[in-house]
Amino acid sequence: MSPRLLTIVPFIFFLGQAHAADPTLDYFKELNKNMTRIQVHKDVGEPKRVMGSGVVIDVYGLADGSEVSIVWSGSEGNLMYVSHGSTTLVK
């Protein structure tokens, strides 16, 4: 029996839906504290990363390379605030 060449094919998995473009800052300015985390994820997609301990911070990338952070009071909690750099967009 002759040896076989093993080919490894890399796969990339993405969370959530694929989106054609990064969300704009204007979208995040329209968020309000009555929205759920599920609503935001459905509207704009999954964040590029999630951080936090006790609170959950969804971080989204913008086309200009900056980031928007949405802070939640837990994974199923209420929207606490939205920030872009040092500017608070929703309190």
**What distance in Å separates the CA atoms of residue 57 and residue 72, rounded to the nearest whole number?**
6
pLDDT in tens, 28-75: 999 999 999 999 998 888 999 999 988 999 999 998 899 999 999 988
State residue 22's pLDDT score: 67
The amino acid sitting at 27 is: Y
Burial class (CB in 10 A: 0-12, 13-18, 19+), 47: buried
Within 8 A by CB and 6+ apart from 30, the residues are none
